[in-house]
Amino acid sequence: MYAKLSLISCLILLASILTTGCSNSTEQSEPAVIVGADRSEIYLPLLENKNVGLVVNQTSMVDSVHLIDYLYRKGVNIKAIYAPEHGYKGTVERGKHVDGTTDPDTGVPVYSLYGKNRKPGPEMLEGVDVVVFDIQDVGVRFFTYISTLNKVMEACAENGIKVIVLDRPNPLGYYVDGPVLDSQFGSFVGLNPIPVIHGLTVGEYAQMANGEGWLKDSIQCDLEVVKVENYTHATKYQLPILPSPNLPDMKSIYLYPSICLFEGANVNEGRGTYKPFQQFGAPYYTPTDFSYVPKSIPVLALHPKFEGDTCYGYDLSGVALSQLQEIRQLEIKYVIDFYNKCDDKENFFISFFDTLAGTDQLRKQIIEGQSEEQIRASWQQDLDKYKQMRKKYLLYDEN
């Protein structure tokens, strides 16, 4: 069962534990954060005599036991497992489609929600009474787990199925920043008008999606959120388990919102190394003080940008974790820097950059030579409106 993780998962888990020290707060004296999955006294009664579907991955742990195993041992009738990007074991490379399988330990069918079926169809939900969503998010719009949640809520609402979200902290939940998504740039890496760093837990996001009518035809989902105990949006929560293969530690998570923009540009974002999002570069960049060579790494990255070429740029892996925790804005200075250093400016950006940014304005502003301050000022009005809306759905204090 899930207590018996694959070798890769075990190594990833061990690396995460060593990096974070399993600390869930900035002060050892503070009460321990208790995630929704650990509050079984609340949700187990809701699952009695129900056929249950689970949206889970490797982060879906109840103490040291995976939620699938935990519920199975408790006699809960698990009808189906739904796998997000990276699969329900978290070992599938980014962007790879996950074919339907069967969980070898329970015999429960596994349906992929990444690929052609990002929204579960009626046949995938047949016989299911309630769907439990328990996945650790990182608080960034283009991290696809909240899009999976959105699609699951929509499908369940259409089929009269209740959704229970076992909430988990947002490791970036202490700030909100970045351009708010323009609806014409909506995609699976950004479905709704929220900023790049949205400042919501998955439970709060679910409430917002319901409350703002973001599900198809404004349908309402029968939703229940099992809250986190001893958490506020000021908590600097350290993830005990990695949320995806290319976020190997908290440093990558803190840098991810800003450096991931390079996935839409002619810059290697650290994929093809063991420090993704902490180091980034391109062959044309100067100065040449720091260099690395991206290579194919199973699970992490196959055929990354500039594979086999020497890339020059930044290495932020040596920056102290405490310094990275103080970042409270989307850092666009790196994209501006690389654009200015690139000789082939016409081919610097690809269309995916606008998809990630949620707007074409950021790309146009960089091309026009606007300063970082001018660019930030341009998205402030929409950001202020979002922050006001966000207050309606907060389940946790902000300080």
How many Cα atoms are found within 13 Å in the side-chain-facing hemisphere of 363? 20
Q: Kindly give the pairing relationship between strand 61-62 and strand 65-66.
A: antiparallel
Mean pLDDT of the chain: 91
Q: Cα(218)–Cα(10) distance, rounded to whole angstroms?
A: 42
pLDDT digits (tens, 9 = 90+) for 276-310: 999 999 999 999 999 999 999 987 888 999 999 99
Instruction: Check the CA dihedral 324-330-333-337 and report its sign.
Output: positive
pLDDT at 384 exceeding the cut of 90 = yes
Q: For the chain, what is the radius of gyration of the CA atoms? A: 21
Per-residue model confidence (pLDDT) at position 82: 95
DSSP state letters, 207-245: HHHHHTT-SGGGPPP-EEEEPPBS--TT--PPPSS-SST
Flag the least confident range among 110-124, 209-223, 324-338: 110-124
pLDDT at 58 exceeding the cut of 60 = yes
pLDDT at 95 exceeding the cut of 90 = no
| Beta bridge partner(s), residue 110 | 81, 101
Nearest to 93 by CA among 302, 304, 299: 299
CATH 3.40.50.12170 positions along the chain are: 33-226
- Check if the beta carbon of residue 361 is closer than 8 Å to that of residue 349: no
- Check if the beta carbon of residue 92 is closer than 8 Å to that of residue 86: yes
**Residues 6 or more apart whose Cβ sits within 8 Å of residue 326:** none
Class (C level, CATH) for 250-368? alpha beta
Q: Cα(269)–Cα(70) distance, rounded to whole angstroms?
A: 37
Per-residue model confidence (pLDDT) at position 109: 92
Per cent of the chain over pLDDT 70 is 90
| Beta bridge partner(s), residue 162 | 130
pLDDT digits (tens, 9 = 90+) for 214-271: 999 999 999 999 999 999 999 999 999 989 889 999 999 999 999 999 999 999 999 9
pLDDT at 133 exceeding the cut of 90 = yes
Flag the least confident range among 98-102, 152-156, 170-174: 98-102
Q: Cα(208)–Cα(205) distance, rounded to whole angstroms?
A: 5
Q: How confident is the model at residue 90 (pLDDT cuts 50, 70, 90)?
A: low
pLDDT at 21 exceeding the cut of 90 = no
Q: What mean pLDDT is predicted for residues 26-51?
A: 90
CATH 3.90.1150 positions along the chain are: 250-368
Per-residue model confidence (pLDDT) at position 299: 78
Q: Taking the mean position of all CA atoms in its chain, how far away is CA 384?
A: 23
Q: Cα(27)–Cα(292) distance, rounded to whole angstroms?
A: 36
Per-residue model confidence (pLDDT) at position 99: 53
Tokens of 331: 């850092």
Q: How confident is the model at residue 152 (pLDDT cuts 50, 70, 90)?
A: very high
**Residue 307 exposed, middle or buried by CB count within 10 Å (0-12, 13-18, 19+):** middle
Peptide bond between residue 287 and the one before it cis (omega within 30 degrees of 0): yes
- How many Cβ atoms sit within 10 Å of the Cβ of residue 5? 17
Q: How confident is the model at residue 94 (pLDDT cuts 50, 70, 90)?
A: very low
Helix or strand (DSSP H, E) at 328? none
33-226: CATH topology: Rossmann fold (3.40.50)
Nearest to 359 by CA among 330, 337, 388: 330
Look at 25 and 359; give whichever has higher pLDDT: 359
Nearest to 338 by CA among 282, 259, 296: 282
> Look-up: residue for tokens 């599900």?
215
Q: How confident is the model at residue 93 (pLDDT cuts 50, 70, 90)?
A: very low
Q: How confident is the model at residue 27 (pLDDT cuts 50, 70, 90)?
A: very low
| Beta bridge partner(s), residue 133 | 55, 165
Q: What mean pLDDT is predicted for residues 72-78?
A: 96
Nearest to 389 by CA among 154, 207, 149: 207
Tokens of 354: 């606008």
Q: How confident is the model at residue 103 (pLDDT cuts 50, 70, 90)?
A: confident
pLDDT at 23 exceeding the cut of 50 = no
- Check if the beta carbon of residue 169 is closer than 8 Å to that of residue 224: no
